[in-house]
Structure formats: C-alpha cells, structure tokens
Amino acid sequence: MSTQNNCPFSAEEIASEGIKPEEYEEIVRRLGRHPNKAELGMFGVMWSEHCCYKNSRPLLKQFPTTGERILVGPGENAGVVDFGDGLHIAFKIESHNHPSAIEPFQGAATGVGGILRDIFTMGARPIAALNSLRFGSLEDSRNRQIFKGVVSGISHYGNCFGVATVGGEVYFDPAYNGNPLVNAMAIGLMETPEIVKSGASGIGNPVLYVGSTTGRDGMGGASFASAELSEESIQDRPAVQVGDPFLEKSLVEACLEAFKTGAVVAAQDMGAAGITCSTSEMAAKGGVGIELDLDLIPVRETGMVAYEYLLSESQERMLFVAQKGREQELIDIFHRWGLQAVVAGTVIAEPMVRILFQGGIAAEIPADALAENTPLYPREILSEPPEYVQIAWQWTPGNLPESTVSGIKINGEFQSWSHILLTLLDTPSIASKRWVYRQY
C-alpha cells in the first residue's frame, strides 16, 4: 500500500480487524491521517458485512420496501407496519450464524436477546418469537452439539425473558456441517404514542448510557460474524457475547416507561459493534455529532482501554438522547428497575463521533464515514443457475421408478411402502420436531 512507509500497523494487524488493504487506504484518505488503534477497530467493525452489508446491500435494495401499510422501513432498529384497527406491529429478523457455530448456547441466546431489544427500542412490547434453523448431518457429533446448544439457547433466553417462540422450522443437510444458519425473529405491539427513532438531534442534548455494564465479552463480534468460518475460529469464544435475559426483562419495562414520558429524543440498541455502532449510527442518521466520555461508562472489569470499550458487545445495553433538563427523570426510572443509567455524552453540531478517554481524545471520526458512506462491493449475479438447479428443473413424473401396490424398486432393490414410510419418518428434516418446540 502507498501509505506503508509510515503506517503504524503491520499488514497482519490491519487484516485482523477485517480491513482490506484498499479499505485502509480509503480510511487514511478520509481522515487525512493514519488512524490510531481504537479508530482502526471502529472502522473494522463498522465496515464489516455484519454492520454495513457492503456485499449484499445492492441486492437487498432490489426488494420492495414501501407500501401504504409500511410505517418504518429499512434503516431503523426494526420495521413497523400498520396492522389495522389501530394496531402497529414491529418486527425484526436477524441471523446469528457464526456465534452459534462457535458457542451454540450463547450464540443463539444472544441472537434472540438482540432482536428483542430491537423491537422494544422502537417502543413496542415483544409478544412472540420465531426462528428458522439449518444444521448439518446429525451423524456428526459436532453438529449434534450445535443443534442441542442452539435450541437450548433460544429456549433459555425466550422463556426467561417471558416471550413464547410460536413458530419456526428446522432442516438438516450436510451443506451446513459445522456452520449452521440461525435466524431469529421477534414481533411486538407498539405501546408508545409515537414510534421511537434512532436519529440523534438537539445540539446540547445529553446522551445517556443505560442498561447493563460494559466488559470485554463479545470483543469484535461484528467483524467475527462477517469473517469466513474456519477451524481456528472454534477457539474464538471471546467474540461471542454472553446474555442475561432476566436483566433484559427489566430493561424492556424501563425503556417502555421512559419512552412514555416523552423525554427520549432517540434510542439505539447496543448490539453489534456496541458503543461504536450506536454512537455513529445515531449521529449519522441525525446529521449531527456525538461526544462520549468513556470514563463515565459503567464497567464490570478493570483496566480496560478505549479499544475494548468501543468494540465490546456486552449485552443488554442501550444509548439514549434525552431532552436537555429531563435526563434525571430518565435516570431515576432505570435506577428504579435496578439498571445502570448515566449521562455519558452530548449531542454536538460537528458531525463527528468524538470519544474521550482519560482526559484526552481517544478517537475522532466523521459519523457518516462509519455509518453511512461505507464501502460497497457490487457482486455479479450468475448468468445461469448452478448445474444442480438445472438438473432439478428437468425432473418430470416420468423420472419416478415403476411402482406396484406393495412397493417400489430403488436402484434395483425392492422396497415396501411401509419400509419407505419408516425411512422418510426417520429422516431428521421430516421427523417430528416435538423435542424442539416443547422447549419453547
């Protein structure tokens, strides 16, 4: 790279943040200087596929996103639709694949916790959860471990939080060996008079940190979730978050109570990329800046550096912008529910994310460089379907083997209908899923 001569990082250090050489060049160009370690980490998580959809966004934009009943489309914490009869429904679906492959229980549990927060951040009370799951062959012990852990994690978080999993699907195929698909969905009913948005506004308004404390768990989880899964990833457990559904139950009540006061200007869940994501997205959406002092953040561990604060994905945390002069009213609500709540920053006019730490500036980056004007990689669509799809399309009923009232010949061997039925019922994708849904 052209900036290599005076670059403070090795190529390996840059790659470890999930940043390509050409992306580092772009970072230097935008800042007019080399980033420091904390800033490099911030770009790494915010420019990951998990946060900015740099590979899939052009394709996702082809989906219809507007309609007379759509109240909130893509870009907010969750979608909101007009369900009729005065009911407004918030919904969100999100994957937690890599974390579930590494630590099945916590990976799936925090996936559920994250989408539940997305729902009540909009001012809606979660009323139901769903999921769509894909696992590898159950002949493999690792796949069985992932399957059991994921189902247990989903049921644990949902049951402890108090929301039922009302529907879902489970399928098995060797294509998912060691790398499951864990898609979780939540639905909620709007309880607040107005939909709570995430764009910060009001220069001088206080920024509140609320919920749980910050630790080192989930470090760099967004970058990890965007990387290719490998054998080495199995040991990457610190990148998986640890959830507390009982604390989140208090958090939903406190948030809905706070929203009803009218003192909350904007709210953002601290999910992937934690403090980095919430500050930059809130600032960019509002066209303003946020200055945040890390020394004011409640922590659960000592000796943390700015990089760790900014990339931590400790669960059950949120960021609010409050009306100036009404911050204590909100703090009192959260304290009453046994939660952390502090004024940790301010909305500023300059459209920057400015992070203070130990009396100095730990990071200073334009908000839109992190959250809006991110890299984009258009991908070519296949000129024709894969061969296996084309073969499947050529199938006709004439391809079926000859059958009789007693059975059918498969590869020259006669199989009775009763044997075929038992074989089908023994297939995991067809067999009863009672073991799964009874846990929900």
Do the Cβ atoms of 127 and 167 come closer than 8 Å?
A: no
Half-sphere exposure at residue 287, Cβ-oriented, CA atoms within 13 angstroms: 0
The gap from C-alpha 14 to its chain's centroid, in whole angstroms, comes to: 23
Give the contacts of 175 (CB within 8 A, at least 6 positions apart): 136
The pTM assigned to this predicted structure is: 0.89
Active site residues: 50, 96
Q: How far apart are CA 8 and CA 36, in angstroms?
A: 8
Q: What pLDDT is recorded for position 239? A: 60
DSSP character for 5?
G
* CA separation, residue 159 to residues 165, 186, 334, 395, 438 (Å): 8, 13, 23, 44, 12
Q: How far apart are CA 255 and CA 244, in angstroms?
A: 16
Half-sphere exposure at residue 10, Cβ-oriented, CA atoms within 13 angstroms: 3
In the structure encoding, which two tokens stand for residue 63, read together? 């989906």
In the structure encoding, which two tokens stand for residue 50, read together? 């998990």
Q: How far apart are CA 201 and CA 189, in angstroms?
A: 26
Q: What is the CATH number of domain 77-196?
A: 3.30.1330.10
Give me the phi and psi of 353, to 5 degrees please: -100, 110
Q: How far apart are CA 332 and CA 258, in angstroms?
A: 10
Q: Which residues pair with 165 in a beta bridge?
A: 129
The gap from C-alpha 24 to its chain's centroid, in whole angstroms, comes to: 24
Query: What are the domain boundaries of the chain?
Result: 1-61+197-381, 77-196, 387-437
In the structure encoding, which two tokens stand for residue 288, read together? 């303003």
Q: What pLDDT is recorded for position 228? A: 53
Q: What pLDDT is recorded for position 411? A: 84
Q: How far apart are CA 309 and CA 353, in angstroms?
A: 14
Do the Cβ atoms of 371 and 42 come closer than 8 Å?
A: no
Half-sphere exposure at residue 226, Cβ-oriented, CA atoms within 13 angstroms: 24
Q: What pLDDT is recorded for position 159? A: 96
Question: Tens place of pLDDT for every residue, the chain, 440 residues?
Answer: 455 568 999 999 999 999 999 999 999 999 999 999 999 999 999 999 988 889 998 888 889 999 999 999 998 999 999 999 999 999 999 999 999 999 999 999 999 999 999 999 999 999 999 999 999 999 999 999 999 999 999 999 999 999 999 999 999 999 999 999 999 999 999 999 899 999 999 999 999 999 999 999 877 555 554 555 455 544 555 567 789 999 999 999 999 999 999 999 999 999 888 999 999 999 999 999 999 999 999 999 999 999 999 999 999 999 999 999 999 999 999 999 999 999 999 999 999 999 999 999 999 999 999 999 999 998 888 889 999 999 999 999 888 888 899 999 888 889 999 999 999 999 999 999 999 999 99
Q: How far apart are CA 200 and CA 347, in angstroms?
A: 7
Return the H-helix or E-strand segment holding 322. strand 317-322
Q: Say what the alpha-carbon torsion angle 243, 255, 44, 314 is, to the nearest 10 degrees.
A: -30
* CA separation, residue 331 to residues 193, 207, 257, 262, 339 (Å): 21, 11, 12, 14, 9
Q: Say what the alpha-carbon torsion angle 363, 365, 370, 376 is, to the nearest 10 degrees.
A: -120
Q: What is the CATH number of domain 1-61+197-381?
A: 3.90.650.10
In the structure encoding, which two tokens stand for residue 107, read together? 């990976």
Secondary structure (DSSP) of 247-314: HHHHHHHHHHHHHTTT-EEEEEE--TTHHHHHHHHHHHHHTSEEEEEGGGS-BSSSS--HHHHHH---
